[in-house]
Structure 1
Amino acid sequence: MYDQAKLSELIRFARVEAGSTVIDVYPGDGDWTRLFSDVVGPKGRVFSFVPTEIADLKPDQVGRMRTLAKEPGRENVEAVSADLVAMPEATQPADVLWLHLFYHDLHTALVQKKGATAAHFNRAVYGRLKPGGSYVIVDHAAAAGAGAGDAQSLHRIDPASVREEVEAAGLVLESESSMLANKDDPHLIKVFDPSIKGETDRFAYRFVKP
């Protein structure tokens, strides 16, 4: 996770507010789900969405999110799991859909094993967002011009490629942030390499549904 200043800035960037409905896609350890739960408050809702394509990456990930939802004060959290393209049926219309360090995985064999593609998922996002809702993507940057070619090997993606794909689904880029940029990242090594782990050059985009 990030320091408190960056966490606060990312939440503002995502436009998560009291009363918002948020879908946290691939929640991992649930850190973002907890943060969003605190921000949206009792009148808001957070769907901690575990795609079935990756549910087996960590032991009983769905069960852990259900346990999180039972923590005191987490009545606004619901743990759900479904195929990526079935996300609209498993959730409710959202003000914010949050994708943290996961978009590149839409271009990997693991995620595509059930037939889902980035284009399929982006259309699902468009259908699930309320008009004016935000689709927020934070990910590891690949070298300019790399497209999605490094998604499988380096777990990176070219920001320009992400923008092109998401806009093709009808969403509009409203804002981008360089708060997580790192000009010293060579972009040519895997994000888990000890020399760059936790310090990768990252981009943040906020798209909106017109």
Structure 2
Amino acid sequence: MKNRFAVAALAALSFALVAVPSMVVSKPDAYAAALASPDRTDEDKARDAARHPAELLAFAGVKPGDKVGDFVIGGGYFTRLFSAVVGPKGHVYAYQPAEFIKYNPDYQKPLDAVAKLSNVTPESFSLGAIAFPEKLDVLWTAQNYHDLHLGQATPAQLAAINKGLFDSLKPGGVFLVIDHYAPDGTGDTLSAKLHRIDIETVKTELKAAGFVLEGESDVLRNKEDPRTVSVFDDSIKGKTDQFVLKFRKPKA
């Protein structure tokens, strides 16, 4: 989530395959069907060209029947896609931090919207007490990981959040992280100002939590982004240089 409320919200951080009659839909067909889902908004569809959702879903391996956690849902763009892909035998947990909602009740609105989907459950537990109702096949966070680095959470708190995410996955489960590139070597020093993060910082922190980096995708790269302006700057908004990292929880 990338807006002016994020810093204040994190300041409040407390630790307190779809079955159809007589056939099985393949994953590519499931992705095409998801993109065409009537549950998606016109705004969602307008963003598809820039967000490459089918490629990202394929890279993560999201499939019908999966249990998926959308970690900080923003407006619900990916939640609606997950709902369509996993189908009636799968389930999606759409998460918005309690700290965000407490600071600004508007953060509840996207949860209320996706709650109308039959296979989606809204969740709003504290970042300090991550506890999805069941173990997940896939965790996903899009343009949100840097928001944990806005200067309000301590290193110990960040490590606890990542451990909570790790523990939420089934053995062999995937954690997909999408975020805006910061200049190499800057760590999280520009996260509060530019809403970006150094890719190596993400790798280091999640490996420390127990995740294994399985792959990277260049599908959202834009080398014309200087990485030195805010992601909300009109010159780059909606077309930032972004990394996509696929982590996996070891099976043993």
Same fold (TM over 0.5): yes
Task: Give aligned-pair identity as a percent.
Answer: 43
Indicate the residue corresponding to 1:27 in structure 2.
73
**Cα separation, 2, equivalents of 1:67 and 1:143:** 36
Kindly report which structure 2 residues correspond to 1:29-48, keeping only aligned pairs within 5 A, or say none: 29-48=75-94
Q: Which moved more, 1:169-178 or 1:101-110?
A: 101-110
Indicate the residue corresponding to 1:192 in structure 2.
232
Indicate the residue corresponding to 1:83 in structure 2.
126
Query: What secondary structure is seen at the aligned counterpart in 1 of 2:96?
Result: strand
Question: Cα RMSD between the aligned structures?
Answer: 1.9
**Are the counterparts in 1 of residues 67 and 91 from structure 2 also a CA contact under 8 Å?**
yes
From 114, 123, 147, the equivalent of 1:105 is 147
The answer as to 2:105 corresponding to 1:53 is no
Query: What secondary structure is seen at the aligned counterpart in 1 of 2:52?
Result: helix
Indicate the residue corresponding to 2:204 in structure 1.
164
From 163, 167, 173, the equivalent of 1:123 is 163
**Cα separation, 1, equivalents of 2:179 and 2:204:** 15
Who wins on radius of gyration, i.e. which is larger? Answer: 2
**Cα separation, 2, equivalents of 1:55 and 1:104:** 18
Q: How many residues matched?
A: 204
The answer as to 2:134 corresponding to 1:134 is no
1:85 to partner: Cα distance: 2.8
**Cα separation, 2, equivalents of 1:184 and 1:37:** 34
Indicate the residue corresponding to 2:4 in structure 1.
none
Q: Structure 1 length normalisation: TM-score?
A: 0.90
Structure 1: state its 5+ residue gaps. Answer: none
The answer as to 2:219 corresponding to 1:179 is yes
1:55 to partner: Cα distance: 2.1
Structure 2: state its 5+ residue gaps. Answer: 1-46
**Are the counterparts in 1 of residues 62 and 138 from structure 2 also a CA contact under 8 Å?**
yes
Output one character per residue of 1:81-117: Cα deviation in whole Å (capped at 9) or x when no partner: 01113222x432100111100000111146x39x973
**Are the counterparts in 2 of residues 84 and 116 from structure 1 also a CA contact under 8 Å?**
no
**Are the counterparts in 2 of residues 107 and 117 from structure 1 also a CA contact under 8 Å?**
no
Indicate the residue corresponding to 1:96 in structure 2.
138
